[in-house]
Amino acid sequence: MTSTESPAGRLIDETCRHFLEICGWPLRFVPAGEVPEESDGLWRRGLSDGRTTLGELLLDLPDDERLDAEFLQMTKAAELIGALMEEAITAHADAEASRGEVQTLARIGSMVPRQADLPSALNQLLRAVSQLTSFRMSAFFLLDPSGDRLTLRLQHDAQRSDVPVRSRDLNGDVPDLAALSGTPVVMRRSRHPMAAPWMPSSASTAVCVAVRSEHAPIGTLWTFDRRDRNPEKRELDVLESIAAQLAVVLERAVLVRESESEKRLRRHLRAALETQPGQKLTEPGPECGFESAGACRSAFEIGGDLIELIPLDPRRTLVAIGDASGDGVPAAVVMASVRGAVRTLAVSASGGIDSTDDMMAQINRAICEITPPHQFMSLLLGVFDGATKTFTYTNAGHPTPLLVHAGTFSDLESHGMLVGVLDDGSYERATLSLDAGDLLVFFTDGISEAMGRDQRLFRSDGIVGAVTSVLDKPPGEIVATIWSKLDSHQRGGHGGDDRSLLVIRVR
């Protein structure tokens, strides 16, 4: 029954009144349940909202007999008016239903747990199928990581045993394949002889829609109805909306778990790195013959750059600087391996520590054995002797450090390929004789290859320019100046690499 207080009732009453005023023929509406006998009215037409019958429109004789001749034209006009009213009422009813569905979906989406209770979240969404459509049973199948199989994970208003083919091989002829390709599958037992194996024995109609993220399929959503019918387009739209929410919930759960695993791994790795000697730059003793300062910044929480100052005895110090390929966790693992090898050899080599070429060859063989071919590292090893003011070093593919002697800049040498590339790699060594006041500036390619706003690299020229302005300052101030110039150069540019810097001034 349609009340005159409802939007549909007001539309019908107003239209009938205007029809009488304009045409002189009485057009009236009789609600369902009050429809008169067939003899009542010259013309009649049913009126619905697209879902249920609201009642009938009736056309009566006018009081003015002169209008009788217009009967045929009036019935056509009344038919047109009735069709227009029905279309408007149906559109309004559809809009109201849609608004209710959207509100329900939004409410369910807001109620879905954000992190912990994944089964509860999925159950809420499967219940939404019953709330928003005429389907009562539903089931969710999850795609195996291999992409070859679907397995039943959850069902609503049905026993697990009611759902047939609970494990589905996608290499076979299964309806889910068509749904995963992007087209909802509708099956009716009465019209599709092959539908029976895929629906519960009590069901006559089934629909399958894909559950997929932006990047890949996740599974399929099945719904079942005991009635043999064609689902409305509105129902198919609702099912696809629920499938989309299922995908969001599942993807969010995966991301949360991955994030927790990654945080745990980083926490454990940071703890492991902190237990390694040399995590902080060691301050050598007063007899070392130099003063130093360094800085290291990783692009991520952990990185692959290495700076070490390891006192060998009161007058000799081992200097190591390196840069592992890649970034983040993989680079940090390689760097930690090299650090461990450097520390071990520094302790065991004793008097032969000046043979930096042999030491580099041993580190190279060790890294080749424990890392895959695509993981390698640039590394410079050197021994500074404070008594003789000499620096003996071997450079395995690392950016060449700068020597500043009497205000003149020069590059140190490179002696071989990166460590971890070829296990039979050989290296050389060189020895510098230094004077008091000389500077050694070591850096990784995160500094020399830093890209600026104008797409220019910082290069060693940028380091030279920065050092020149503070040449007579302590190493700490030189490091701060280089870092400041680098930040100014890179502001607005790309800063996605680890960067490390070490400055030594000979006493």
Domain boundaries, the chain: 7-107, 118-256, 276-506
Residue with tokens 């590339």: 421
What pLDDT, on a 0 to 100 scale, did the predictor assign at position 63?
A: 76
Domain at 276-506, CATH homologous superfamily: PPM-type phosphatase domain (3.60.40.10)
Instruction: Reply yes or no on whether the pLDDT at 281 is more than 80.
Output: no
Please write the tens of the pLDDT for every residue from 323-354. Answer: 999 877 788 889 988 998 998 888 876 556 77
Domain 118-256 identical in fold to domain 276-506: no
Q: What is the pLDDT of residue 354?
A: 75
Confidence class for position 278, pLDDT limits 50, 70, 90? very low
Alpha carbon separation from 390 to 190, 329, 387 (Å, rounded): 94, 36, 8
This prediction has a pTM of 0.53
Q: What was the pLDDT predicted at 364?
A: 94
Q: Given this model, what pLDDT does residue 263 score?
A: 67
d(CA 25, CA 16): 9
Concatenated DSSP letters of 266-317:
HHHHHHHHHHSTTSS-----TTSSEEEEEEEE-SSSS-SEEEEEEESSSSEE
In the predicted model, is pLDDT for residue 252 greater than 60? Answer: yes
On whether the CB atoms of residues 2 and 33 are closer than 8 A, the answer is no
Q: What is the mean pLDDT of residues 293-299?
A: 89
Superfamily of domain 118-256: GAF domain (3.30.450.40)
Comparison of pLDDT for 270 and 485, the residue scoring more: 485
User: How large is the average pLDDT for residues 307-324?
Assistant: 93
- Report pLDDT for 117: 67
Of 27-41, 283-297, 411-425, 445-459, the poorest mean pLDDT is in: 27-41
The crossing angle, in degrees rounded to 10, of helices 328-349 and 233-275 is 10
- Top pLDDT among 429 and 43 is at 429
276 pLDDT band (50/70/90 cuts)? very low
Residue 408 CB-half CA count within 13 A = 5
SS (H, E, C) 445-478: HHHHCCECCCCCECHHHHHHHHHHCCCCCCHHHH
pLDDT over 60 (residue 270):
yes
Helix (H) or strand (E) holding 242: helix 233-275
Instruction: Collapse the DSSP code of 385 into the 3-class scheme (helix H, G, I; strand E, B; otherwise coil) and give the result.
Output: strand
Quick check: helix, strand or coil at residue 355?
A: coil
- Higher pLDDT among residues 389 and 247, named by residue: 389
Give the model's pLDDT for residue 196: 92
498 CB neighbour count, 10 Å cutoff: 26
Taking 80 as the threshold, does the pLDDT of residue 262 lie above it? no
Structure tokens at 73: 């034209």
Q: How confident is the model at residue 113 (pLDDT cuts 50, 70, 90)?
A: very low
pLDDT digits (tens, 9 = 90+) for 55-76: 899 888 887 766 666 777 788 8
Residues 6+ apart with CB under 8 A from 473: 481
- Read off the pLDDT of residues 10-30 as tens digits, 9 standing for 90 and up: 889 888 988 888 888 889 999
The answer for residues whose C-beta is within 8 angstroms of residue 71's C-beta and 6 or more apart is: 42
Mean pLDDT of the 116-136 span = 84
The confidence score (pLDDT) of residue 229 equals 95
